[in-house]
């Protein structure tokens, strides 16, 4: 069988960079294969995908070496139009992919270019829209949708074409856990129906492995480190060396002293095979006591009382929301896309005005404060970094708020450099923002808020698009801020983040606050998990497999042990 994609000693260097981003790539992908491309931020995996779909070198200029063929086409010397006949792509930044004024028009864009009859076009659009659950959004404007809805619309736009290669660049980045599972299931279903080769670029290894992939190509520093089956790679130390997080159930098994072997079928939690002695070993590990430390409860800081809000008359996005956050708390806000999580953040920051209810900071009602006045005490990092960035250079973007407050330039430089180091961006301090990836832009926006040292810090999906190393750097810094007395609120779909860093979770569903509890309890509650479109942690499944009845306790034991191990 001839490969559908073949790299032969391929290299690529952007015109704006001094060093190649890809070096000596040798890779063959065959029709019908499902391949996961994994690696830390800046490893070259998205650049690799851009070479396949023609964005390189036709949109992002640079020089190629070696050879790349896609469906028999000499890709670097072809055109985007020619490659689009063979390759469909869902970009990481979905806003950059929309063309139509409505969802229906956007999905139909490729069909219109093919001059498909209108009756057939409408049927195709409706069929695909139902597959990704956006059939009720066909008249909506794409840019007005939530992050998860945008992802599904982009996926629908790709599915209408009969292409031989499907490329998904971080398809889970903006999806709630349940929708992420559905997206992986949908990709799996589409691949089976079309027989197309599928390339998935993604940090979240465990989530992608919800369905089978044939191979994992691991990249770092522009080179291929490994090209192996999932079982082979999961049993090797290469993931850890590259800074990619392995599935949590495997980490827990290793903490218990087990050696992961290919014959254990470690690809999925439901296929993992443990002997009686290995299960007993996990139970013994769980029974080992760990030192317990409980932070004293702080004084009430942020109070939300009977908050009700709606964007449209007669409809409510949030209804009768009440809770209190204490000084020094670190809290996750979780729930399905469209549940009202980001809306709550906007209300707290003053971007929107509630219909009823009140928001108090240290007992003072914020109703009369302007956005600027609230920003002194409340910092907000948006989900989409492109909506926050206004400067062309990275240093200037992070320094903007400090300069607006007329701080001495020496102090500005010191604080900007400190924030850039924390966010892993110091080497890029003199770069233009346009040269960064989506994940790197995300870190720029976090840095631009961190330098302001607000009393309350609200982050909307702070780890979206981040590899495990940068995820850890950012979250450890946020934890240090929290230990110094800052109150940190994170709107997140990342169940790992919620488990590891926040002792408390506020759970939203359809505009209502349905639970306020510890994350370990939440992810072991099947009813709440389903209602809030979350995903049970694989630690819960491992506990059940090993005959541990106290699943909540097992999950908490893992969190505490992991914290001890990682310092």
Q: Which tens digit of pLDDT belongs to each residue from 490-523?
A: 999 888 889 989 999 999 999 999 999 999 999 9
Residues 6+ apart with CB under 8 A from 45: 37, 38, 39, 201, 219
Q: What's the pTM? A: 0.81
Query: Tens of pLDDT along 319-340?
Result: 999 999 999 999 999 998 788 8
Q: What is the dihedral of CA 271, 272, 275, 278, to 10 degrees?
A: -160
Q: What is the dihedral of CA 82, 83, 87, 89, to 10 degrees?
A: -110
Distance in angstroms (rounded) separating the CA atoms of residues 21 and 249: 33
Residue 293: pLDDT band (50, 70, 90) is low
Q: Which residues pair with 28 in a beta bridge?
A: 6
Query: Tens of pLDDT along 2-23?
Result: 999 999 999 999 987 888 999 9
Query: Tens of pLDDT along 85-95?
Result: 899 888 777 77
Distance in angstroms (rounded) separating the CA atoms of residues 315 and 556: 39
How confident is the model at residue 536, as a pLDDT? 84
How confident is the model at residue 294, as a pLDDT? 64
Identify the H or E element spanning 70: strand 62-70
Q: Which residues pair with 252 in a beta bridge?
A: none
CB 535 within 8 A of CB 529: yes
Distance in angstroms (rounded) separating the CA atoms of residues 278 and 253: 9
Instruction: Please name the residue that has the structure tokens 């569903």.
Output: 509
Burial of residue 77 (CB within 10 Å: 0-12, 13-18, 19+) is exposed
**What mean pLDDT, rounded, does the chain reach?**
89
- Antiparallel, parallel or unpaired: β 504-509 and 512-517: antiparallel
pLDDT-above-70 percentage for the chain: 98
Q: Where would I find the beta strands (DSSP E) of 146-286?
A: 165-169, 197-201, 215-220, 223-228
Distance in angstroms (rounded) separating the CA atoms of residues 551 and 334: 21
Distance in angstroms (rounded) separating the CA atoms of residues 567 and 561: 10
How confident is the model at residue 479, as a pLDDT? 86
How confident is the model at residue 155, as a pLDDT? 78
Phi, psi dihedrals of residue 122, rounded to the nearest 5° = -60, -40
Asked if pLDDT for residue 110 goes beyond 90, the answer is no
How confident is the model at residue 208, as a pLDDT? 92
Mean pLDDT of 339-343: 89
Query: Tens of pLDDT along 24-81?
Result: 999 999 999 999 999 988 889 989 999 999 999 888 889 999 999 999 999 999 988 8
Mean pLDDT of 121-135: 87
Asked if pLDDT for residue 362 goes beyond 80, the answer is yes
How confident is the model at residue 91, as a pLDDT? 78
């Amino acid at each position: 069988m001839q490969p559908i994609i073949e790299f032969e000693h391929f290299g690529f260097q952007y015109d704006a960079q001094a060093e190649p981003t890809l070096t000596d790539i040798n890779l063959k992908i065959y029709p019908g294969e499902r391949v996961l491309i994994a690696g830390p931020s800046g490893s070259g995996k998205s650049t690799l995908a851009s070479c396949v779909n023609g964005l390189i070198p036709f949109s992002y200029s640079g020089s190629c070496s070696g050879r790349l063929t896609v469906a028999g086409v000499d890709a670097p010397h072809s055109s985007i139009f020619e490659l689009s006949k063979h390759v469909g792509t869902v970009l990481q930044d979905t806003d950059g992919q929309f063309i139509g004024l409505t969802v229906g028009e956007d999905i139909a864009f490729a069909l219109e270019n093919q001059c498909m009859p209108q009756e057939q076009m409408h049927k195709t659009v409706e069929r695909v829209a139902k597959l990704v659950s956006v059939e009720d959004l066909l008249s909506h404007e794409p840019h007005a949708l939530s992050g998860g809805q945008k992802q599904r619309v982009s996926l629908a736009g790709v599915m209408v074409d009969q292409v031989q290669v499907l490329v998904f660049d971080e398809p889970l980045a903006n999806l709630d856990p349940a929708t992420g599972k559905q997206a992986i299931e949908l990709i799996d279903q589409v691949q089976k129906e079309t027989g197309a080769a599928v390339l998935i670029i993604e940090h979240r290894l465990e989530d992608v492995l919800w369905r089978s992939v044939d191979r994992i190509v691991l990249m770092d520093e522009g080179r291929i480190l490994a090209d192996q089956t999932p079982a082979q790679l999961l049993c090797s130390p290469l993931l850890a060396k590259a800074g990619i997080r392995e599935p949590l159930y495997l980490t827990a098994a290793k903490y218990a002293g087990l050696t992961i072997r290919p014959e254990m079928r470690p690809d999925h939690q439901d296929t993992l095979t443990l002997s009686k002695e290995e299960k007993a070993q996990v139970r013994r590990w769980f029974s080992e006591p760990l030192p317990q430390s409980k932070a004293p409860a702080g004084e009430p800081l942020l109070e939300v009382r009977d908050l009700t809000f709606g964007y449209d008359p007669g409809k409510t996005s949030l209804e009768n929301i009440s809770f209190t956050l204490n000084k020094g708390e670190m809290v996750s806000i979780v729930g399905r896309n469209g549940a009202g999580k980001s809306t709550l953040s906007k209300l707290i920051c003053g971007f929107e005005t509630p219909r009823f209810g009140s928001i108090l900071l240290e007992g003072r009602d914020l109703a009369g404060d302007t956005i600027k006045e609230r920003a002194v005490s409340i910092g907000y990092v948006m989900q989409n970094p492109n909506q926050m960035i206004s400067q062309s250079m990275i240093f200037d973007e992070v320094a903007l708020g400090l300069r607006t407050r007329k701080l001495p330039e020496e102090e500005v430089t010191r604080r900007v450099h400190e924030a850039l180091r924390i966010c892993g961006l110091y080497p890029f301090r003199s770069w233009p923002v346009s040269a960064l990836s989506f994940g790197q832009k995300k870190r720029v926006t976090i840095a631009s808020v961190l330098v302001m040292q607000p009393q309350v810090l609200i982050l909307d999906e702070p780890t979206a698009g981040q590899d495990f190393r940068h995820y850890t750097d950012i979250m450890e810094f946020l934890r240090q801020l929290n230990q110094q007395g800052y109150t940190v609120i994170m709107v997140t779909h990342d169940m790992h983040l919620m488990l590891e860093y926040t002792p408390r979770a506020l759970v939203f569903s359809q505009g209502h606050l349905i639970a306020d509890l510890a994350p370990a309890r939440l992810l072991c509650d099947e009813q709440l998990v389903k209602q809030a479109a979350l995903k049970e942690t694989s630690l819960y499944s491992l506990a059940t497999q090993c005959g541990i009845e106290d699943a909540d306790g097992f999950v908490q034991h893992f969190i505490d042990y992991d914290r001890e191990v990682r310092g």
